[in-house]
A and B are shown apart, each in its own frame.
Chain A
Amino acid sequence: MMQQIVMYPLLFQLFLSIALIFLWKKISWQKAVSIIGSFINLGLSIWLFAHVWENGTKSIQAGNWEAPFGISFVADAFAASLVLLTAIAGLAVSMFSAGSLRSARLKFGFYPVFHFLLLGLCGAFLTGDVFNLYVWFEIIIICSFVLLTLGGERSQLEGAIKYFTLNFLASVIFLTAIAVLYGLTGSLSMADLATKVAEIENRTLVQVNALLFLVGFGIKSAIFPLYFWLPASYHTPPPAVSAIFGGLLTKVGIYALIRMFTLVFEIDPFIQNVLLGIAFLTLFSGAIGALVQNNVMKIFSYLVICHIGYMIAGLGMMTEVALAGAVFYLFHDILVKTNLFMVSGVINRIKGTGDLKKLGDLYADRPLMSFLFAIPLFSLVGIPPLSGFWPKISLISAAWDLNNYWIIAAILLGSFLTLIIIVKLWSEVFWKTGQKLPEQQNFPYFNKLRNYKKTQLIVPIVFLSLITLYIGFGAESIQNLSVRISEELLNKQIYIDAVFNK
């Protein structure tokens, strides 16, 4: 049984979604099954992570077809920790959506699709085959499209069309890139590609191919010139859906970029300059975008874009320290962004609006809750010793070693602008004396909710905040993990040997 451990989180998510379809009309059952299932899934992911941490990279060949002919599933420390983070974020959002979503949305199958989405995410992290990665991306797109449009409000459909068109384009580019790669090498297994791509003589074609992958994954991870779909769509669905989107969807693109550019493609000076330029512009444009917004959800949407820049910068620098920084930032960002979208949902529930101009008084009304919300907000800025601070040190010291002062400037500028944005948000939402808002009819205000619903809204935020605090105060262990991951990423042979069972 221990041999197949790599697949357990995947199989369990699939089982969960099927079980939830059987319970299509019984919503309260669905809630219970989803939350309990997410707990079990968290247990399985911790088990997988501990196993990989103890015994190193582990792979299995689906269908028992030998690599490189079959599809391999590979759990190295990177993939296993992302599966663990997906399980954590999934548990939080599962509970949050039980408290926050209207039953009209739940009736149309929110939970089964949500678990299919988590299945797609885990699959994308664990797969060791490029085409299989494409399939998981498709599952993610289809599920996210359903989640975006559930409820069928006008703004939702508008956002969904933009989202779907650009992501679909990204899939086409990604598929083209796979086709070229397959034409060049005759293989789709990443471990096999790692050796074969290096031997191709036509380097120009390889470079073009690498750029195709960069554009395809770039659209999905919302990097600089390709991010327009994100702020157009992320504020339209309910906060529970935005939370899982903002926390995990763009990060899959980053994961795929890091995986492809460490394992399959070499980073040459040209691509390095492209990546660093993109990182700079992503940080800058995302932050500027967030600065001018007046809606809490929109601000967070732009901040999702902004902070992608840090990870691209880490990937572009491609040293051990820089990759460790990028990986650490990825971990921190998944938890904090998921948490922030849930926070924005609760703020919306308390006041009935997400507009900065109308909000206010939150600190006076609910000091304890404001204190709780401060944790993710200030972790995002990276105020030491909170979690956003540590990866930036790695990134800056890596840039210092490379004498790349532009990147240092970009990282500092990004943090500084984030600080301004969060301070503005804090003073507007929490400290300002707000105006009296007219009470809306039929709006489920927070203080009108029953106690168990309130718990379902607050507990996930507490849960994720505690983990964020752990990342901040226990940074050493996370740093150890990130350094180990970046060592593994830079030493391809570990991955290749694990797949071919040498």
Chain B
Amino acid sequence: MKTLILRTASKYMLPLLLVFSVFILLRGHYLPGGGFVGGLMAAIAFVLHAFANGLENTKGLLRIDPAILMPIGLALALLSGIAPVLAVDLPFMSGLWWPDPVPIVGNLGSALFFDIGVYFVVIGVTLTIIFSISESA
């Protein structure tokens, strides 16, 4: 499917979709959205790029093996969970919040890092599955 229209469009779509996925990730704490949906969107952005420009190009663009995102995401989620245990002796997964709101992001808390972890895991899993299927096809 290497048509000119798709290839040109995907060039602009990739950053746009990525930014949008981050937006969805950030709004997820109180509104619909979150790490899972955001991660899927980011993965779709790369899949679209791969459709238009071929798998090799997308892999070159990514530079890293997407599989490594899985343990990174898991580690981030675990860290956000044990931060209250280690820092203030509250139970696992208690929410810790930065007192003042941060511009753009809103309230900054340990839950956000859990969501970012989910975001990475979902990107890693989706891309690994789709890349390995399209390689073997």
Which residues does A use to contact B, with CB under 8 Å?
Answer: 1, 3-4, 7, 11, 14-15, 18, 21-22, 24, 60-64
B91: A residues at CB distance < 8 A: 3-4, 7, 60-64
Does B95 belong to the interface (CB within 8 Å)? yes
Given A21-B71, A60-B91: A7 and B78 interface contact (C-beta under 8 Å): no
Are A18 and B71 in contact, CB atoms less than 8 angstroms apart? Answer: yes
12 more CB-based (< 8 A) A-B contacts, given A3-B89, A63-B91, A64-B94: A1-B85, A4-B85, A4-B89, A7-B85, A7-B92, A11-B81, A18-B71, A21-B70, A22-B75, A63-B92, A64-B90, A64-B93
Minimum Cβ distance to chain A for residue B23 (Å): 26
Residue numbers in B under 8 Å from A14 (CB-CB): 78
Give the Cβ gap from B21 to chain A, nearest Cβ, in Å: 23
Q: Give every chain A residue within 8 A of B44 (Cβ-Cβ).
A: none
Q: Which residue of B lies closest to A8 (CB)?
A: B85
Complex contact B92–A4 (CB within 8 A): yes
Interface SS of chain A: helix, strand, loop or mixed?
Answer: helix
> Closest approach, in angstroms, between the C-beta of A202 and any C-beta of chain B?
36
Cα distance A11–B70 in the bound complex, in angstroms: 18
* A22 neighbours in B (Cβ, 8 Å): 71, 75
Give chain A residues whose Cβ lies under 8 Å from the Cβ of B93.
62-64
Pick the most buried of B71, B85, B91, B93: most chain A CB atoms within 10 A of its CB: B91
Complex Cα spacing A63 to B84, Å? 9
Cβ of B74 < 8 Å from any Cβ of A? yes
Determine the residue in chain B with the shortest Cβ distance to A10.
Answer: B92
Residues on B close to A: CB < 8 A?
A: 67, 70-71, 74-75, 78, 81-82, 84-85, 89-95
Q: Is the CB of A11 within 8 A of B89?
A: no
* B85: A residues at CB distance < 8 A: 1, 4, 7, 11
Whole-angstrom CA separation of A62 from B82 in the bound complex: 11
Shortest Cβ distance from B73 into chain A, in angstroms? Answer: 10
**A63 and B95 contacting across the interface, CB-CB below 8 Å:** yes
Assembled-state Cα–Cα distance A268/B89 (Å)? 43
Q: How far is the CA of A3 from the CA of B92 in the complex (A)?
A: 11
Name the residue of chain B whose CB is nearest to the CB of A72: B91
With a 10 A CB-CB cut-off, give which of B84, B85, B89, B95 has the most chain A CB atoms.
B85
Can you list the 3 inter-chain pairs with the closest CB atoms, starting with the nearest?
A: A21-B71, A64-B94, A63-B93
Min Cβ gap B82→A in Å is: 6
Chain A residues lying within 8 Å of B94, measured Cβ to Cβ, are 63-64
Which of A14, A18, A60, A61 has the most chain B CB atoms inside 10 A of its CB? A18
Contact B78–A18 (Cβ < 8 Å): yes
Q: Kindly report which residue of chain A lies nearest to residue B65, judged by CB atoms.
A: A24
Are A15 and B78 also in contact (CB < 8 A) when A4-B85, A21-B71, A22-B71 are? yes
- Chain B proximity of A7: nearest CB distance (Å): 5
Give the complex CA separation of A15 and B77 in angstroms. Answer: 11
**Cα separation A153 to B75 with both chains bound (whole Å):** 33
- Give Cα A3 to B78, complex, Å: 19
| A18 adjacent to B75 (CB under 8 Å) | yes
* Whole-angstrom CA separation of A60 from B75 in the bound complex: 23
15 contacts between A and B (CB under 8 A): A1-B85, A4-B91, A4-B92, A7-B92, A11-B78, A11-B92, A14-B78, A15-B78, A21-B70, A21-B74, A22-B71, A62-B93, A63-B94, A64-B84, A64-B95
* Complex interface: chain B residues within 8 A of A3 (CB): 89, 91
Question: Chain A residues near B78 (CB, 8 Å)?
Answer: 11, 14-15, 18
The answer to whether A11 and B82 touch (CB under 8 A), given A18-B71, A18-B74, is: yes
Residue ID in chain A nearest B82 by CB atoms: A11
List of B residues within 8 angstroms of A21 by Cβ: 70-71, 74
The distance in angstroms between the C-alpha atoms of A3 and B85, with both chains bound, is: 9
How many Å from the CB of A152 to the closest CB on chain B?
14
A22 to B93, CA, bound (A): 23
Complex: A62 Cα to B74 Cα, angstroms? 18
Closest to A4 in B: B85
Residue ID in chain A nearest B73 by CB atoms = A18
Q: Which residues of A contact B67 (CB under 8 A)?
A: 24
In angstroms, Cα B91 to Cα A14, docked, is 16
Structural contact, B89 and A1, CB atoms closer than 8 A: yes
Which residues from chain B contact A7 at a C-beta distance below 8 Å? 85, 91-92
Nearest-neighbor residue (CB-CB) of B94 within chain A: A64
Taken together as a complex, chains A and B put the C-alpha atoms of A18 and B70 apart, in Å, by 9
| B contact residues around A15 at 8 Å (CB) | 78
B92 touches A62 (CB 8 A): yes
Bound-state CA distance A21–B78 (Å) is 14
B66: min CB distance to chain A, Å: 13
Q: Is the CB of A60 within 8 A of B70?
A: no
**A129 CB to closest chain B CB, in angstroms?**
13
User: Which residues on the A side are within 8 Å of B81 (C-beta)?
Assistant: 11
Smallest Cβ distance from B70 to chain A, in angstroms? 6
Whole-angstrom distance between the alpha carbons of A198 and B81 in the complex? 35
**Closest Cβ of chain B: how far from A254's Cβ, in Å?**
27
Q: What CA separation (Å) do A269 and B93 show in the bound complex? A: 42
